[in-house]
């Protein structure tokens, strides 16, 4: 059973920095609970300078770091009971070694009360904020928190939230449904990068675009008379605004208009399994096993969210006055009647 467990259990590599690390690493409770939770000690360090060197060596393989509150930066003959030079130095190491990836640091100390009194310059802020201060002696508590934190950091949810936090926040401020749909797409993309579900992915992106368009209508950036994506395409695009509505001068940056013009065709085509489509987007993605086309649409959509947020703010502060469009209703009615006849004719074929 032990052999089977050792093969199937996730293993978590840590570096431990403590002036008493030699004793701690041989402690029976440490051995027992670290073995139970699958924790391996990659290296043990007596000072924070040792910790820096160890992190440099193991930066790509370490999962977590455990430090004491009362340890020194360099070797000393006698460690004073209030020496926190190692802890102070650790603050810079947290910043330095969390640039490329997240490595959780834990403060494992028996002097929490003393540290709370003498740490006046934010030395404990990181540990308090992340709930990573553990009482020395509670080995199982330390082990379980290491596993919990590493698993959370390794999760798709964590990666998406950290990488896209700003744009998700902007989406939520526009409407919660936009944030939810965008987050679901990003999570699905993070968990599964296969290309055999291209139609579903383009359908999701199309839904996100439609929510953005609805918000544009709410803020009178786009007229409600533009009922579908094709209408929106002609509204912002380069076909002479043949449907009778057009943006006011300077509202839509040319690059954003171009995004919508090209992206509309791709999303319309990619979200359907129909043989007589013009572009055969989904077929192309699947056949070439290439995710870059819908990822490019994703990033264009996120840029559109950012533009909409900025435009909304200008509307709210009064620097833009709505409506941000003009309508030739006679031309629009003529367009709609022609479009309806064309659709009726196409459906009868």
pLDDT tens, the chain, 349 aa long: 344 444 456 899 999 999 998 999 999 999 999 999 999 999 999 999 999 999 999 988 999 999 999 899 998 888 888 888 999 999 999 999 988 788 999 999 988 888 988 888 888 999 999 999 999 999 999 999 999 999 988 888 888 888 899 999 999 999 999 999 999 889 888 877 666 777 888 889 999 999 999 999 999 999 988 888 888 888 887 654 566 788 998 899 999 988 888 888 888 887 766 666 677 888 888 888 878 888 899 999 999 999 999 999 999 999 999 999 988 877 777 766 765 555 554 455 5
Alpha helices in the chain (DSSP H): 2-8, 21-25, 28-37, 48-58, 85-97, 112-118, 125-129, 139-154, 156-174, 176-191, 198-218, 229-236, 254-270, 281-288, 292-316, 329-348
Q: How many CB atoms lie within 10 A of CB 9?
A: 12
Using CB atoms within 10 A of its CB, is residue 8 exposed (0-12), middle (13-18) or buried (19+)?
Answer: exposed
């Amino acid at each position: 059973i032990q052999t089977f467990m050792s093969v199937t259990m996730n293993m978590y590599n840590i570096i431990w920095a403590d002036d008493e690390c030699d004793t701690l690493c041989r402690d029976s409770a440490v051995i027992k609970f670290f073995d139970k939770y699958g924790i391996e000690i990659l290296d043990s360090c007596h000072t924070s300078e040792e910790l820096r060197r160890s992190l440099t060596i193991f930066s790509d393989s370490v999962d977590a770091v455990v430090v004491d509150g009362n340890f020194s930066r360099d070797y000393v003959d006698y460690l004073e009971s209030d020496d926190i030079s190692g802890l102070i130095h650790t603050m810079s190491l947290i910043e330095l070694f969390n640039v490329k990836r997240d490595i959780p640091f834990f403060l494992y100390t028996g002097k929490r009360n003393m540290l709370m009194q003498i740490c006046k310059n934010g030395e404990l802020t990181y540990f308090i904020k992340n709930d990573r201060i553990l009482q020395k002696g509670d080995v199982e508590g330390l082990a379980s928190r290491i596993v919990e934190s590493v698993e959370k950091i390794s999760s798709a949810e964590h990666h998406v939230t950290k990488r896209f936090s700003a744009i998700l926040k902007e989406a939520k401020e526009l409407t919660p449904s936009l944030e939810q749909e965008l987050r679901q797409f990003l999570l699905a993309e993070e968990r599964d990068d296969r290309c055999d579900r291209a139609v579903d992915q383009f359908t999701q992106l199309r839904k996100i675009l439609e929510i953005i368009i609805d918000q544009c209508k709410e803020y009178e950036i786009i007229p409600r008379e533009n009922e579908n994506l094709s209408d929106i395409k002609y509204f912002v695009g380069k076909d002479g605004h043949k449907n009778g509505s057009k943006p006011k001068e300077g509202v839509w940056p040319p690059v954003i208009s171009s995004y919508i013009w090209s992206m509309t065709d791709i999303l319309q085509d990619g979200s359907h399994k129909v043989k007589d489509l013009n572009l055969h987007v989904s077929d192309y993605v699947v056949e070439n096993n290439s995710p870059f086309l819908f990822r490019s649409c994703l990033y264009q959509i996120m840029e559109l969210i950012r533009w909409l947020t900025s435009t909304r703010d200008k509307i709210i502060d009064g620097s833009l006055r709505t409506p941000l469009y003009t309508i030739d209703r006679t031309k629009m009615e003529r367009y709609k009647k022609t479009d309806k006849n064309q659709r009726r004719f196409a459906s009868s074929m």
